Each structure stands twice: as C-alpha cells, then as structure tokens.
Structure 1
C-alpha cells in the first residue's frame, strides 16, 4: 500500500476528511495522523502483532491480512454502517463523493465497485473503491468471503467477490462504475489524448507489484495530469 498520509493530503485538500476513518496496523501511523490532524481525522490502531510494517503482495502475511480486512467489512455491514472502502494506492483527480452518493441511491445495489481495464485473466470487477450498502445480502457476501479466504489460503478476496457477484449469491446485487469514472493501471499506458478525454475521478494503481514501483509510476502521472483537473472543496456527507 502507498502511504495513507498521501491519500489524506488529497482528501484534506478536498475538505472531506471529517468522514474518514483510517484503520491501521501501524501505531506510528495513527500517532502521526493524530499529531498532524488532531481530532479532524480518526485513525484506529488495530493491534495485530507482526503487521506493523508494509506487506509484499502475494506473500502469505498479505493474504492473511485480507482475512482481517474482510472481517472488518463484515463487522461494519452487520452494524448497519454504510461505507466506502478505499485502498490507498490510487490517485484522486476529482472529488468523487458526489459520484459515490449518486451510485448508492440510483438503484438497488448492495455493493458498487469499479470494472477492470484488463479482463482476459478472468475477473471483471476490481475491489476498490467499494461502496457498501448494509443489507442482508451484503452481510451474507462478506460472511461468505471471510469464510472462503480463511479456509483456502491461496484465495484472494477480489476473486471471491467476482465469483459471488457473478452468481448473484443469495441475491446480492453488484453494480459497477464506468471505466471513465474509476480507471486502473491500464490508464497509465494510454496516450495523453485518451487520458484527457476520460478525466476519471480516481485511478487505481494496480497491475503493478511493489511499493516503490507503484510510487514511481504514480508520481509522474500526478505531476502531468492532476493540475488539469479542478479539485472540489465542498464537503459531501454520505447519509
């Protein structure tokens, strides 16, 4: 993951930090966030021994961490909390909160997620940002997801989500953003003209492994394109 502080800088600029909850296994990160933002941003330290440092994608500890995340999502959903899961390896070019609000009120979706730019390997849906409505179906979705990745240690939550959505497991309704709204790693390889036409809200920095590699790719993309878009500062509340 890229630094949560990087995402906070973007969110703070847009005036939306008052509805953000960071859950971190790093006590130092939470202390740093509270020191810089006081009570404006809530950071919850999850005391999980052995997970204080960055994890490498694909290693067993990374996969085990997905179980912890799935359990947290299940707990939030069972507590009737409407939320947006955000992974921090992404670039925000525009304020997405109006998009999030509209996506959750348009139809009967239990979850709303992005579509992948490259689908030849099977999965068509990406995991983040994920809008979650606390419904019976979404509770069952996260219960089953947690169960499967606990039982089989080579499974990823995204793969399970794709299968359950495809099967409409226990009636779960999964909707998706348009690719020009939430893009992914494929976007970095598009020509400048196509990028400017798309103007996505968020670009997920996936299809690339390694913290330093992600940072190196994201940094020049931000310098070249972020200035072209206007970041809104109005606070939107997800009610």
Structure 2
C-alpha cells in the first residue's frame, strides 16, 4: 500500500425523501457523517448487519447516489461498482454488455472487443454468451461482472458480496483473482458478511451500524469487535 489517497469520504450523509408527494419535506437519513480515506493499492473492508448502509455507501462511492451533505473526493480516473443488480442491460447479450460496461469504465469499444474472448472464457458462460442477460442466473451474472472487472481493471473496484456468490469453483477462482489484484496494487473496497474473507483480504475495515461508523481501523481490531457484537445478538 502506498501513501497516495484514491478516495476520500468527508462527512458523507445521504437522505431519501419519504413517500411520493412532490413537495414532501419528510426524509429518511440512511448515511450519517461518514468519513474515511482509501489509499491506492489498499483493500478496504466494509462490514455491518443487513440494513446498516453498506451497499448504499458503495453506490455513493460509485457516483450513483449524490450525498445530501459532505463531500466525496476521487483522485483516480475510474471507479467501478461490481454488484449483481447493477451495470448490465438485461436485453443485451454478454458480448454487448462487455463492451458497454467497459466503455462506462473509460475503456474503448475496440479494446473491449479485443478482450471479449478472454472475458467470456473466464466467466465460463458457454453458449449462454449469446443469450440476453435477463435469462442469466445470479451466479452467471456474478461471473460475467467479475470477469469484466478483472480484464478492464478500473482504478478502484467496489465489490458488493461478489465472492460469496456462485459455486465453490467460481469462488476459488474469484479469490485467486482478488489476490492477483492485491499483488498488482489494485485498489478495492470490499463489502462482505464473511469475516474470514475480510480478515484475509483487507488491511483496514469500516464497521457500519444504522448508517453510522461504529468503528474504523486495522482489520484485526475492528473484526474482533464486530464478531463479538454478532455473537451477542
């Protein structure tokens, strides 16, 4: 890990207006004054119970949601959110989605077409590569999304529970790829419920509880406290 900062979250807060009334002033705040930095080359973990705000935070880091208050500073050219529910046009097949996803990450159409065969081989989609993505299982979508990120290599990858999805063979391959990324100084923000994987892959962790930072620091200190909290629940 280097000292250069890739992402800076400065007192990020996010609120959603409640209900469908156009002039309603009622709002629900889902993220409260969240601050941290992610260094270039770091694998930064985010943990928390369901509803803690983990996936919402990743959407803010990816620029999908704009914070209501606070500021997000990115010192890199491309940030990609790898999430099973985002990023694909369900009416397109795998080949077209590879090109589209890569272009959204700043890659050229020509380069993504050159990489398509390698991406499809890694994703192990077989004849399904020519079918619309809407027909894919969750595991197939995960394999395709992870393969695109592996070969397009955005500056920062935001991973939302990806390694916990799919069969054992794919999980092993994805974890091996993650280790290659770490060796190659890839910057990763990794959301997971899997304590063992967080401990193995991450250097620092942010524990979210009810949309607030409960604890932030070295992986062993935060995960010891988090695991103890989970056992008490």
Q: TM-score, normalised by structure 1?
A: 0.27
Larger helix proportion, structure 1 or 2? Answer: 1
State which structure, 1 or 2, has the greater radius of gyration over its C-alpha atoms.
Answer: 2
